[in-house]
């Protein structure tokens, strides 16, 4: 029964973390859930790089109610000084009794250090709850932080017979409304969109994110011969 409750709170942390999609780069998406005596005390998530980390947001909302509480995090808390202070120190000061972590932070600056510091301070730490889901959520961050190369998503629109346009090039869409809407959600969550000069010349796209409160990605065009007209919508 305890494990069922733990999983429920970790899934809530994952849903909270996802609210930061497209806003936290180069940081990971993290959600935090504070529970005491079987009752939800406070939640938080990392909104953007440079702002409070998820656990700090939850601690501030909980106040004194954080003492003796259990904290659920999809990612190990940091233990180093970056743009914000180390979260482990704040958790220890707040008197958090137990921390359940979905996965170890792959960042070499953390990489188990946060877990070790908490345990040295007498905090109970459990690692690996719903680890596969936690790893999947931050797969782009994991690739960048461990290999220093970007996580690339290929967007290809084609007909069932492998065509991307009619022979005359007159067709504008080969995808439906749902697929086009999904593309805007992808643009909202990535750092940049890259196209070739041919796409700009043929379609004159804006490459913006057209969903409510969406964020436009950086737009990059590969144009070795400087063919893009100055009046292009980009």
Residues annotated catalytic, as ranges: 55
Q: How far apart are CA 158 and CA 162, in angstroms?
A: 5
- The burial class, CB within 10 Å (0-12 / 13-18 / 19+), for 183 is middle
Q: How many other CB atoms are there within 10 angstroms of residue 88's CB atom?
A: 26
Strands 39-45 and 31-36: antiparallel
Return phi, psi of residue 14, to 5°.
-65, -40
Residues 96/35, Cβ–Cβ less than 8 Å: no
């Amino acid at each position: 029964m305890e494990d069922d409750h733990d999983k429920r709170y970790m899934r809530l942390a994952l849903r909270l973390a996802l609210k930061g999609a497209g806003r936290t780069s180069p940081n990971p998406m993290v959600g935090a859930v504070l529970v005491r005596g079987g009752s939800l005390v406070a939640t938080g998530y990392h909104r953007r790089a440079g702002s409070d980390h998820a656990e700090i947001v939850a601690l501030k909302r909980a106040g004194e109610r954080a003492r003796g509480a259990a904290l659920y995090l999809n990612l190990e808390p940091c233990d180093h000084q970056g743009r914000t202070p180390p979260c482990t120190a704040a958790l220890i000061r707040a008197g958090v009794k137990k921390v359940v972590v979905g996965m170890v932070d792959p960042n070499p600056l953390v990489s188990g250090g946060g877990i070790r510091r908490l345990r040295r301070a007498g905090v109970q730490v459990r690692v690996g709850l719903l680890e596969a889901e936690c790893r999947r959520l931050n797969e782009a961050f994991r690739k960048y932080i461990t290999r220093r190369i970007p996580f690339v998503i290929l967007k290809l629109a084609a007909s069932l017979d492998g065509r991307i346009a009619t022979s005359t090039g007159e067709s504008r869409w080969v995808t439906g409304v749902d697929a086009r809407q999904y593309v805007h959600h992808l643009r909202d969550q990535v750092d940049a969109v890259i196209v070739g000069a041919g796409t700009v010349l043929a379609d004159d796209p804006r490459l913006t994110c057209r969903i409510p409160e969406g964020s436009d990605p950086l737009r990059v065009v590969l144009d070795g011969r400087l063919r893009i007209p100055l009046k292009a919508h980009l």
